[in-house]
Structure 1
Amino acid sequence: MLTVDFDRLRVGRRTRFIDVGAGAGRHSFEALRRGADVVAFDQDAAELDQVAEWFAALEAAGEVPPGGEGRVQVGDALALPYPDDWFDCVLASEILEHVPQDERAIAELVRVLAPGGTLGVTVPRWLPERICWALSDSYHANEGGHVRIYRARELVGKVQAAGVRLTHRHHAHALHSPYWWLKCAVGTERESHPLVEAYHKLLVWDMMKAPALTRGLERALDPVIGKSVALYFVKPVLPAAAP
């Protein structure tokens, strides 16, 4: 399940790509399949161990084009251990809502991005997220949980202030919003609730089969109740200094 458009991020062979807050690696795997030089970066070492195993499995299965490489790095998004202007593409998907010092994290994302490079940022959309917060405290008020709800224009302002320019935005995962509203209504810990189980099976079926009916329905609903907002930026190339 991808939240961003990799063509819009211009990810291809030998693209230096970092997935900050990679989690289970869904976006890192797509970048590797495109032949990028991928760093899956996260603070969860155990989860990254699983990502590393999947990187190896993709290579063994012949799904990595020549030049593609995947590796993992444990670390803190507030202090990325890379030089300035190092990556062609930086992705931060569904992490900034967890970070109290979000402007510091944004500054790091922009710092390591090369001039002319692309930055993708996704966060939960304001309306679906506000409904989840209203229905359940346990949805967000837990260790490592969500600390804020963004309005898109607020986040765009913060990211552009760090030195990049917005190029595009869209919404994604409309079919997931009702699922989370349902979970919040019955109790987020009640995974075995019949309605939750039934809806989860529907989502898994949709992701595996991608039928035209549900794909079309989600595209129609994304502008209205899309669970995530995806923002795309480019770092300007500064003119060369006069001799």
Structure 2
Amino acid sequence: MRIKAAVTAIEQNTSTNTGAVDEHLRWLIRSDDGQLINLWYQRLRAGSTVEQLVAQRLLSKNFRGSSLDSLVAQRVLGVVSHAVREDVPLRLFIPFGGYKSPASREYPEASWAEVFAIAGMCELVSPICRIHAPGVVIEFSSDEAVVPLFMGADEVVLNRYRSRFDHILSVVAAGQHRNLKLKQSLLRDDYDIDGLSRRIRELGKALESRWFSNLFSDEKARLLGPPSATVLARSRWIWKIECAS
């Protein structure tokens, strides 16, 4: 895969040749699928269909780290069939946290991890854009209004990450096929975040009562934080315990 090759080259050249690093980065975010496309054209002439080639690409083992659930595979096949049959863009919807962990050296902005993740997705779908004229839309759906409730991230921090992520999308998109579109959407635009927050608070209170009502105060404070901690912050730990049980 080009991602692995670029990372290796960057690591080898970082301290000695910035020009080489820049070139590898340009190569990383530039669509380059000529050899595969030639092979696909041969297969199309031999009787394969666009739908088959697209599905095989999306389900390829090279772009995932674990086995694929059969229901997920069937869902992918259905989405591909619809896009090809209706001659519409293939839409990939990717949920993500929408913030940088405070433990990261790049906090609070999107940085190298996001560059490689986005470039990897583009590498996956780039050849599809060559044989499916409507192209592909990759939508990164940010949970920035929900997940950070448990992390204490403020709006300024979230805005910095969101802005930087959009910038990375625009930089990577500039090197892709014209029918490959990258976008970031926000969960808060489609869901009632205030209602969801209330449900989280209610769940936190219920679980706190169920799990910790008989604990000594010092042990309870160790597990949940001080009494002054917000319900959402305390719910973060309760949620972890509940999910592990």
TM-score norm. by structure 2 comes to 0.32
| Structure with the higher fraction of residues in helix conformation | 2
Q: Larger Rg: 1 or 2?
A: 2
Determine which structure has the larger strand proportion and give its number: 1
